[in-house]
Amino acid sequence: MKSSLDEDDRIWRALGDPVRRKMLDVLADGPQTTGAMVGRFEPLCRTAVMKHLDVLVRARLVMVKREGRVRWNHFNPVPIDRICGRWLDAHRRRRSAALNRLKRVVEAPVVGETEIAKEKVKQ
């Protein structure tokens, strides 16, 4: 089912940005109006905050309820649970084998990351 994969993709990509993860942390403590979110995420401008919220809405990580001219943003924990659960389940069986292989490898010095990788890790 392609739409489901796209849905997962939207969720992962939404979680890829630290600002959006912080937004979910805030919303997890309780729903917030868009204006309140703007206030919490200075110095970002309102449009930037709304774009991030839109990405979260597209991923169904945030549900919107309008009340007059105010918009309430609600955190929806279901997609995260699904994603994390699916990933952990998928790797649970392979995890021990992978760890054993890794242990054997790590005993020998693990080097050979590309220069790009070394450099960026330093920063």
In the list 2, 30, 68, 123, the residue contacting DNA (rule: CB under 7 A) is 68
In the list 48, 50, 61, 82, the residue contacting its own copies (rule: CB under 8 A) is 50
Question: Which of its own copies, DNA, none does residue 100 bind to, with CB < 5 to 8 Å depending on kind?
Answer: none
Question: Which of DNA, its own copies, none does residue 121 bind to, with CB < 5 to 8 Å depending on kind?
Answer: its own copies
Please report whether residue 75 would count as binding its own copies according to CB under 8 A.
Answer: yes
Distance CA 39, CA 14 (A): 21
Question: Which of DNA, its own copies, none does residue 46 bind to, with CB < 5 to 8 Å depending on kind?
Answer: DNA
In the list 24, 50, 63, 83, the residue contacting DNA (rule: CB under 7 A) is 50
